[in-house]
């Protein structure tokens, strides 16, 4: 449930809202546990939590696109102060560029690389095949990579 909580925070949920959604999702899971396949339990939990977050956004009638962020420093080793500043700058730029992608593209990237879900789990979330998810994820990743390269004047961006 901690991974779902972190995913909700990454999607822009407030700490309190994420906690409430995780709790509601856990309660709903307990209610429907007999009807959920053990192989699909993780995907089911993510799907329910994400839908609850969307419902929360709709209820609050927030027209703003939610802020997508993640901790780049979780992926990189800590180094010199200059490295830390550059990493923070890159993290902000990635978040800014993620917010220019469609919601689905950003979600695919976050679910795969931040929440570390498998293609099969993501496919279950979106009600599609893992092959389709793989294709859509590759396109979203390339689009993000292109936008980052534009920002950094064509410098090669690897991830």
> Model confidence over 58-93: pLDDT tens digits?
776 443 444 444 555 454 555 666 666 767 777 777
What pTM value is reported for the model? 0.56
* Rounded Cα–Cα distance for residues 116 and 22 (Å): 18
> Model confidence over 10-52: pLDDT tens digits?
877 889 999 999 999 999 999 888 888 888 888 889 889 988 8
Whether the Cβ atoms of residue 28 and residue 22 lie closer than 8 Å to each other: no
Angle at alpha carbon of residue 9, lines to 140 and 52, rounded to 5°: 85
Residue 120, Cβ neighbours under 10 Å: how many? Answer: 15
- Classify the phi-psi angles of 67: left when phi > 0, otherwise alpha if psi is within -120 to 50, otherwise beta: beta
> Worst-scoring range by mean pLDDT, 99-108, 128-137, 147-156?
147-156
| C-alpha distances out from residue 57 to 28, 50, 54, 69, 134, Å | 20, 11, 5, 17, 28
Query: What angle do helix axes 41-60 and 15-31 make, rounded to 10 degrees?
Result: 130
**How many Å from the N-terminal Cα to the C-terminal Cα in the chain?**
27
């Amino acid at each position: 449930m901690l991974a779902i909580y972190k995913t909700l925070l990454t999607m822009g949920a407030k700490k309190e809202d994420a906690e409430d959604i995780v709790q509601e999702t856990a309660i709903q899971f307990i209610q429907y546990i007999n009807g959920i396949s053990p192989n699909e339990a993780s995907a089911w939990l993510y799907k329910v939590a994400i839908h609850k977050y969307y419902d929360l956004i709709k209820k609050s009638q927030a027209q703003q696109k939610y802020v997508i962020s993640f901790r780049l420093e979780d992926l990189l080793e800590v180094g010199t102060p200059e490295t830390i500043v550059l990493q923070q700058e890159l993290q902000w730029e990635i978040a800014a560029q993620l917010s220019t992608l469609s919601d689905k593209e950003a979600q695919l990237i976050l679910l795969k690389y931040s929440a570390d879900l498998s293609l099969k789990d993501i496919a279950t979330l979106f009600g599609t095949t893992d092959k389709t998810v793989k294709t859509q994820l590759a396109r979203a990743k390339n689009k993000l990579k292109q936008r980052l390269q534009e920002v950094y004047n064509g410098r090669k961006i690897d991830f």
